[in-house]
Amino acid sequence: MLLGALEAGGTKMVCSTGDETGQIFSRESFPTTTPEETMPALINFFQRAGVEALGIGCFGPLDLKQNAPTYGFITSTPKERWRNYPLYATLQKALGVPMEIDTDVNAAALGEYVLGAAKGLSSCLYVTVGTGVGGGLVVENQLVHGLVHPEFGHFFIQPHPDDPAPEGFCPYHKSCVEGLCNGPSIEKRWGKKAQLLPPEHPAWALEAYYLAQMCMTAILIISPEKIILGGGVMQQEHLFPLVRQQTREMLGGYVQHPAILEEMDTYIVPPGLGQTSGVTGALLLAARAVR
């Protein structure tokens, strides 16, 4: 069965075809400008390909209540032209195939859970640290939603005493995970993009301190069997040992489990699927829609 996958991001929309094993047959990306400009290109791609089902991993916030009249809407996004946009309904009307929509991070979490770093486990948390910070959670093959869906990048953490910008840069509130450790906050704080800072730069000690607080909170509240850190900032591989060490120290021996005490190198990990976690998860969403 030919499946379609849409990775709907704030900068670009990536359309792919593939199958339920995660094999990708074709990919094409389109700038995320306005619905009027972008949507016809997406629809044309999937119509030409002849996909039999579609999975969508989308930036949010989203309405994911299936019985709601606004199911599949992009809701209170900062991207004004996409605010309250009926993404799911528009694609459903145009394509007429089985579809499932979820957050971009939930799609990535599903990909890692089924075919990636968390394969064979019963739960995992996937966190992207890039332009924003978001988390997707899978427990016993179920993607976690809730009242709306988790906004993992916006819980409060303690600023580092040496941080020159301890309130962070979130437009909604101060000292949250996203506002303190996303890519733009690093650039605003230090005047350079993250990838231009050398491993010995003090930025990384602060970044590890914040990400370790995030991981510690996740371990204490969610207790996932694997924490997967992806996104552009986490491509700085020297960050992982720092985050693992700080997380273990912050927990202070409270969580008595070998994964924390002895096997942290295989507990907090990069994506097993590399840069394809999102598209793989979207293909799996399409397969779920068929079932």
Count the Cβ atoms, other than its own, within 10 Å of residue 73. Answer: 21
**Residue 148: pLDDT above 80?**
no
Boundaries of every domain in the chain: 3-106+275-290, 119-270
Residue-averaged pLDDT of the chain: 95
CATH classification for the domain delimited by 3-106+275-290, as one of 3.30.70.890, 3.40.50.280, 3.30.420.40, 3.30.70.20:
3.30.420.40
**Residue 79: pLDDT above 90?**
no
User: Could you identify the residue written with the tokens 């949250």?
Assistant: 176
Superfamily of domain 119-270: ATPase, nucleotide binding domain (3.30.420.40)
Task: Return the minimum-mean-pLDDT range out of 20-24, 149-153, 237-241.
Answer: 149-153
Quickly state the pLDDT bin for 135 (edges 50, 70, 90).
very high
Torsion of CA 125, 128, 134, 136, to 10 degrees: -30
Q: Can you give the pLDDT at residue 40?
A: 98
DSSP string, 268-281: EE--TTGGGHHHHH
Quickly state the pLDDT bin for 151 (edges 50, 70, 90).
confident
Give the single-character DSSP code of 160: P
Q: Can you give the pLDDT at residue 250?
A: 97
* Pair 155, 176: CB distance under 8 Å: yes
**Residue 150: pLDDT above 90?**
no
**Residue 204: pLDDT above 80?**
yes
Full-model pTM: 0.95
Task: Return the minimum-mean-pLDDT range out of 67-81, 224-238, 263-277.
Answer: 67-81
* Pair 130, 182: CB distance under 8 Å: yes
